[in-house]
Amino acid sequence: MFNSDRWREILEVLTSNVGRTILTAFGVCWGIFILIVLLAAGKGFENGIRQDFGDIATNTMFMWTRSTTKAYEGLPKGRSFEFKVNDVQAIKDNVPNLRFISPRNQLGGFRGGGNVIRGIRVGAYNVYGDYPEIINQDPMTVTSGRFLNHNDINEKRKVAVIGQGVKSELYDKGEEVLGSYIKISGVNFMVIGTYKKNNNDGDGEEAQKEIFVPFTSFSQAFNRGEDVGWMAITAHDGSSISQLKENIIGVMRERHKIHPEDNRAIGYFDLYEQFNRVESLFVGLKAIAYIVGIMVLLSGIIGVSNIMLIVVKERTKEIGIRRALGEQPWSIKLQILMESIFLTIISGMTGIIFGSLVIYGINSLLDSVGPVDMFINPSVSVGVVSGALVILIISGLLAGFIPANSAIKVRPIEALRNE
Amino acid sequence: MIEIKDLHKSYKMGSNSLHVLKGINFTAEAGELVAIMGSSGSGKSTLLNILGMLDGADSGEYILDGVPIKDLTETKAAQYRNKFLGFIFQSFNLINYKSALENVALPLYYQKVGRKERQVKALSYLERVGLKEWATHLPSELSGGQKQRVAIARAMAAEPKVLLADEPTGALDSTTSYEVMDLIQKINDEGNTILVVTHEEDIAHMCKRIVHLKDGVIVEDKKIKQVRAEQYV
């Protein structure tokens, strides 16, 4: 089947009318080119959006308290309540498949008053009381020193990890940061580390201006007692937080004597749900790219099929001669199919190469003009390319199918009469 | 070698049916050189096509070298054609993008003979028809007589039981025709069975037996004294 004679013949046939072969090939080439470029553009868009999400653990929800809207067990509506530290253990005991439950407290806020003082400098920052696990849910890179640890929690050490933004505002360039003290709402904390966050969304600058201190020291220093401001809860990879959400909130309702149907007493934000919504957008984009690409490819394939029909027509006599000399019908069919597949694959490969060149060009253009919003590193994977190849082989088969059948339908005697 | 009994064939032309062969009975022994003559429309080409398994008969028996030829699938027919038959056509029917050598080697390719062996064999047949030096030329670079000699070499290459020639000299001038007939006679001298369809008297008389066809039946079948073509060359 794959002997040199057959290949020589395929080449002879395809090169016998070079102009026509190239024009035919162009159709398929163009189709696969469009497919590749569309997929790459979709990927670039996806990369851009994903960058905005940063490294945040997406299987995460945030939960905070509001006031009750229904009277329950003798308690009035409009009652405010607080999560307590032992709620964390209660959730851990009652809801399986949770990876991290981080109780958090917060001081200051967006454009809050100056709450942090160092020497003669003053700044307004978000100050969080946190457990060490928070670094897994809200990832950051520790650029110097270390992050909080459990000894800090247990011993209620007054230590702080500050963001790059805090460092640049409160310290001179080159000044030693580690071991120095900052005064947060009148309480001195020793700086033990600095961090940098990678996400790139709207409040990217704000994210670098945060201060993390141990949860226990925060509670003590700022008089929070057993109160928990809000919680960040991450589920294990196998299960989705969206499904566990109701369970968690149920446990909280029970512990805080909230009416089971009081939906507004506990506020939450389900990051996973948001992320899924975006995720389905990517799926949609990909589907559109495939549909458009394959439609364009289809017209190319019809072109190939057409030309193969003409080739068969032109070679009717030759086919007749071959059959008179004893060539078997399957061999003729195989010949036509292979020509068609070969032509499709070669032109498809050309399309893939051109597409890759264009993508490469766009990438180097992006590199030279700097980042563009929501569009990063458009690319196609090896998987997509091999998928495209499979599509090409199938299309080649489809394109050759009708011509190959019409070739063997010609009876040798009629073929020979064809002058 | 060839045995046909009560062969019928008709063609459908729209609503009319054209009865071309009306009961042909014919036998040919091994080593015979038979001319099938007749005016156009007498059915001689149809007969040859049926003998060549290029076309099927409506009814009747056809036995070739002891093998009954009937109910052929295209695959089977291709096998038989390759094994039993060599064709020589009026219009040569060479494949025009293949060299003389490749054309001659083609039937061997279908017999799955290896590439090297194929070339050696094809070259030896080209030598026999005196065209060894033209082996690498394309058909378009050959004269009509040369083309027909290449076609004869190709028909011989598969070492068939029977050679079928359909107006082999029809497209050639008389001198070239005699050269081709001389070649055919020499091949026949080596013991090959050959059937020649022609409407030219002089060509027919270079065979050993003449069968006359008229309106789909054999009207005359006689052995003749062969005229050697050499003397005209």
Average pLDDT of A8-15?
83
Please answer yes or no on whether A326 and B154 come within 8 Å at the CB atom: no
For chain B, give the mean pLDDT: 89
A315: closest chain B residue by CA: B95
Residue A177 clears pLDDT 70, i.e. is over it:
yes
pLDDT given at position A56: 66
Please answer yes or no on whether A328 and B110 come within 8 Å at the CB atom: yes
pLDDT digits (tens, 9 = 90+) for B93-125: 898 888 999 999 999 988 888 888 999 999 999
Region class of B143: left (phi > 0), else alpha (psi between -120 and 50), else beta: beta
Query: From the list B55, B82, B98, which residue is nearest A326 (CB)?
Result: B82
Highest averaged pLDDT of the listed ranges A156-160, A241-245, A287-291: A156-160
A321: closest chain B residue by CA: B93
CB atoms within 10 A of CB A223: 8
- Shortest distance between the Cα of B46 and any Cα of chain A, in A, equals 10
Q: Are B132 and B98 in contact (CB under 8 A)?
A: no
For chain A, give the mean pLDDT: 86
Residue A201's pLDDT band (cuts 50, 70, 90)? low
Residue A110 clears pLDDT 60, i.e. is over it:
no
| pLDDT > 70 in chain A, percent | 95
Which among B99, B109, B167 is the top mutation candidate for probing chain A, defined by the most A β-carbons within 10 Å of its own β-carbon? B109
Residue A112's pLDDT band (cuts 50, 70, 90)? low
Q: Are A391 and B27 in contact (CB under 8 A)?
A: no
Half-sphere exposure of A313 (CA within 13 A, CB side): 7
pLDDT digits (tens, 9 = 90+) for A274-321: 888 888 888 888 899 889 888 888 888 888 888 889 888 888 888 888
Q: Which of A102, A86, A368, A336 is nearest to A227 (CA)?
A: A86
Q: How far apart are CA A263 and CA A201, in angstroms?
A: 30
pLDDT given at position A312: 87
pLDDT given at position A1: 47
pLDDT digits (tens, 9 = 90+) for B135-190: 999 999 999 889 999 999 999 888 888 999 988 888 888 888 998 899 999 999 98
Q: Which of B108, B169, B96 is nearest to B137 (CA)?
A: B96
Residues 72-91 of B with CB under 8 A from A: 74-75, 78-79, 81-83, 87, 89, 91
A334 touches B: beta carbon within 8 Å: no
Please answer yes or no on whether B54 and A416 come within 8 Å at the CB atom: yes
pLDDT given at position B70: 82
pLDDT given at position A55: 63
* Main-chain phi, psi angles of B34, to 5 degrees: -110, 130
pLDDT given at position A54: 64
The ipTM estimated for the assembled molecules is 0.86
- Shortest distance between the Cα of B227 and any Cα of chain A, in A, equals 30
The residues near A107 (Cβ < 8 Å, ≥ 6 apart) are A115, A126, A127, A128, A129, A184, A185, A218, A222
Please answer yes or no on whether A321 and B52 come within 8 Å at the CB atom: no
Does pTM surpass 0.80? Answer: no
Residue B69 clears pLDDT 90, i.e. is over it:
no
A282-320 burial, b if ≥16 CB within 10 A, otherwise e? eeebbeebbeebbebbbebbebbbebbbebbeebbbbbb
Residues of B within 8 A of A320 (CB-CB) are: 93
Residues of A within 8 A of B98 (CB-CB) are: 12
Average pLDDT of A406-416?
79
